[in-house]
Amino acid sequence: MSTFVDGPVRVSVPATSANLGPGFDSLGLALSLRDELTAEVVESGLVVEVAGAGAEDVPRDESHLVVRSMHAAFDLMGARPPGLRLSCANLVPHARGLGSSSAAIVGGVVLARGLVAGGRLLADDDALFRLAARIEGHPDNVAPALFGGFTISGRDDDGEFYSVSSPVDPRVEAVLFVPPTPVATAVARRLLPAQVPHADAAADAGRAALLVAALAGRPEHLLRATRDYLHQDYRRPAMPESLVLVDALRADGVPAIVSGAGPTVLAFVDGSAAAALLRRCPDGWAAHHLTIDPRGAVVD
């Protein structure tokens, strides 16, 4: 029977951007914007407190995504706490293509492991990654949320998830333009065709390979490397203003993409050019200058 640590455990989890243009469902980056979660095992019941992004919309019961993820991790470790108290301070915007659900899932599984005495012996990082990917359904956001930095992830023919980390040149930073209106990932995915031309698939594979090299040390190739053929234009009806901004930035030589399923626009930038780029934020949108965060989920 598992025992639990005394007192609260605190975890911070980064926002993430997936796809990055051509790396559909495979490439992901951790960004320097973090949700903070605190949990404690109590004698009975469940208390969920939420502040910040999504506070008006998320449930406060067992259906809360962090709580569900915690219980999945407890089951993995053979642990069953009598009660839980959870507090979430959310900075990652919801339904904006910045990995809010992956932050919740990864935060939940890491919190649960931290609450179990000897939890790392029962579930290492790879086990938590596979669990988080199963909960999310795909690994491209949960991988950087857990491991940090830049990750290349996917699913083998046998259904097993994998993730490999790749370096990022320290000159590469990001400016994010976050619109006020959300787009649900399910809505964005429904716009994708069941098949694409072979030429587009081949072109996309080449750009994704180039993107790995560009991020690792050849950022002068980022504009070419972020050209997407598989998903962004198909999703234009759900986020026309985002794609207009992407088009305008790219026309001016800025490597801009839709972040994840959108509608946030991410532009890669050298830090010295960030201030000028921030001035291009559309009225009513929020803009952030962020770095690539080498840390994934961190237990404080």
Q: Measuring CA to CA, which residue among 146, 183, 7 is closest to residue 69?
A: 146
* Chain-centroid distance, C-alpha 35: 11
Angle at Cα 52 formed by Cα 68 and Cα 14, nearest 5°?
Answer: 65
Q: How many CA atoms lie within 13 A of 186 on its CB side?
A: 3
223 band by pLDDT with thresholds 50, 70 and 90: very high
pLDDT tens-place string over residues 254-292: 999 999 999 999 999 998 899 999 999 999 999 999 999
Task: Kindly tell me if the per-residue pLDDT of 1 is higher than 70.
Answer: no
- 294 close to 148: Cβ distance less than 8 angstroms: yes
Annotated binding site for ATP: 93-103
Domain 9-166+295-299: give its CATH architecture: 2-Layer Sandwich (3.30)
Distance separating alpha carbons of residues 178 and 281, to the nearest angstrom: 9
Annotated binding site: 93-103
Residue 263, preceding bond cis, omega within 30 degrees? yes
- 82 close to 43: Cβ distance less than 8 angstroms: yes
What beta strand segments (E) does 121-236 contain?
150-155, 161-166, 172-178
Q: Which residues have a Cβ under 8 Å from the Cβ of 118 and sit 6 or more positions away?
A: none
Predicted local confidence at residue 258, as pLDDT: 98
Structure tokens, 263? 């509608």
Structure tokens, 241? 């203003």
Helices 65-77 and 100-115 meet at what angle, rounded to 10?
40
Put simply, whether the predicted model's pTM sits higher than 0.85 gets the answer: yes
> Which CATH code is given to the segment(s) 172-291?
3.30.70.890
Distance separating alpha carbons of residues 283 and 230, to the nearest angstrom: 29
- 29 close to 144: Cβ distance less than 8 angstroms: yes
* Chain-centroid distance, C-alpha 19: 10
Task: Kindly tell me if the per-residue pLDDT of 2 is higher than 80.
Answer: no
- Over residues 224-243, mean pLDDT: 96
* Beta-bridge partners for 282: none
How much is the mean pLDDT over the chain? 96
Domain coordinates in residue numbering, the chain:
9-166+295-299, 172-291
Task: Kindly tell me if the per-residue pLDDT of 101 is higher than 90.
Answer: yes
Neighbours of 251 (CB within 10 A): 9
128-134: long-range pairs with CB below 8 Å, 24+: 128/73, 129/161, 129/163, 130/160, 130/161, 131/72, 131/73, 131/76, 132/69, 132/102, 132/105, 132/106, 133/161, 134/161
- Over residues 132-154, mean pLDDT: 97
Q: In Å, how far are 12, 14, 164 from 167, measured between CA atoms?
A: 22, 17, 10
